Amino acid sequence: MHKKINTIISFYKFIKVEDTNSLRHVIFDYLEELGILGTILIANEGINVNLCGGSYEIELSKKFITEQLDLGLIHSNESNIDYQAFSKLKVKIKKEIIKVGLKISENDINKNEYLNPKQWDNLLDNKPIVLDTRNRFEYLLGTFENAKSLDLDSFSDFKEKVIESKRLDKKQDIAIFCTGGIRCEKASVILKNLGFENVFQLKGGIINYLNHNKNIDSKWKGDCFVFDDRITL
């Protein structure tokens, strides 16, 4: 008997959301009818989506959410698995779609500088500061060659730890990364606000990098922790 192949998808968008409660109900009802499981966070600053289900149903879900918020073209990380990565469907309203104590807008992240996996590798060859914005546990499971950790318990400590760090040169190129890209959106804004001049982030995060480097030697070493039943990639 063949196992059902599911698609797992993650995407986010910083965009002004006025009526978070109405949006929550509309999205939950639609996804529940499709049999989609996963977690969606909605805040006035945007939406953060992590879902799993049949490939056709996931396609419908992405289209529906995109249309509800007029998101336009967005980057998403997608992969196929032969099990369900989530146990239930949760659509929650939060103060931030990624918690760090800083609300940002679409205008803020429009100033961020992104690198695709190939550009990322090229930059790493030039020996920039490579900064892992994830927590201590994630860093110890796996990271990029020569990456520095801020020894975070949680991402909420990021700004404080950067201020405390004496190892970061504000004039040197700094390459930052996280699992799927969303933490780096806020990390980039924080670093620039603190006076760092040349901040570059890995587009789509580690997941996108690994998807593009499946069969070749890469600069990633170890496992990548993910926030669903897969645990690691």
Q: CATH no. for residue 31? A: 3.30.70.100
Co-location of 22 and 112 in the same domain = no
How do residues 24-39 score in pLDDT, each as one tens digit?
999 999 999 999 999 9
Q: Domain range for residue 175?
A: 106-222
pLDDT at 4 over 80: no
Co-location of 47 and 126 in the same domain = no
In a domain, 232, yes or no: no
Co-location of 56 and 88 in the same domain = yes
8 A C-beta contact, residue 75 and residue 207: no
Co-location of 118 and 168 in the same domain = yes
DSSP state of 171: T
Whether the predicted model's global pTM rises above the 0.85 cut: yes
Catalytically active residues, by annotation: 178
H helical segments located in 110-200: 117-125, 136-141, 158-164, 182-193
How do residues 74-94 score in pLDDT, each as one tens digit?
999 999 988 888 999 999 999
How do residues 89-145 score in pLDDT, each as one tens digit?
999 999 999 999 999 988 898 889 999 999 999 999 999 999 999 999 999 999 999
Residues 6+ apart with CB under 8 A from 38: 31, 49, 50, 51, 52, 53, 85, 86, 89, 90, 228
Q: According to the model, what pLDDT value does residue 1 have?
A: 46
Co-location of 79 and 114 in the same domain = no
Q: Angle at Cα 25 formed by Cα 23 and Cα 28, nearest 5°?
A: 105
Q: How far apart are CA 98 and CA 100, in angstroms?
A: 7
User: How many domains are there within the chain?
Assistant: 2
Co-location of 111 and 89 in the same domain = no
Average pLDDT for the chain: 92
Co-location of 18 and 46 in the same domain = yes
Q: CATH no. for residue 127? A: 3.40.250.10
